């Protein structure tokens, strides 16, 4: 089921979750200062950055693929 998930979908889900958490915090009465809001926004960019760098890309063909003539 998770084999068809792209890295951009994971990043979109992350930002959606962060947005909902921030909206819920404000709805429950949290009043962040500008410095706190900016700090949390910057920290929320770290996990998507790691996902984008660590997500496996297209795998190069193996020697068996080249010998059999398989094309990807």
pLDDT score of 71: 65
Q: What is the pLDDT along the chain (72 residues), one digit of tens a residue?
A: 567 888 888 888 989 999 998 899 889 988 888 898 888 888 888 988 888 888 887 778 888 888 887 765
b vs e for 18-41, b when ≥16 Cβ sit within 10 Å of the residue's Cβ?
beeebeeeeeeeeeeeeeeeeeee
Give the pLDDT of residue 2. Answer: 63
- What pTM value is reported for the model? 0.62
């Amino acid at each position: 089921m998770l084999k068809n998930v792209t890295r951009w979908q994971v990043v979109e889900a992350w930002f959606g979750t962060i947005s909902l958490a921030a909206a819920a915090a404000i709805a429950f009465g949290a009043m962040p200062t500008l410095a706190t809001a900016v700090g949390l926004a910057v920290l929320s960019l770290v996990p998507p950055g790691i996902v984008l760098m660590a997500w496996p890309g297209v795998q190069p063909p193996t020697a068996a693929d080249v010998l059999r003539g398989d094309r990807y």
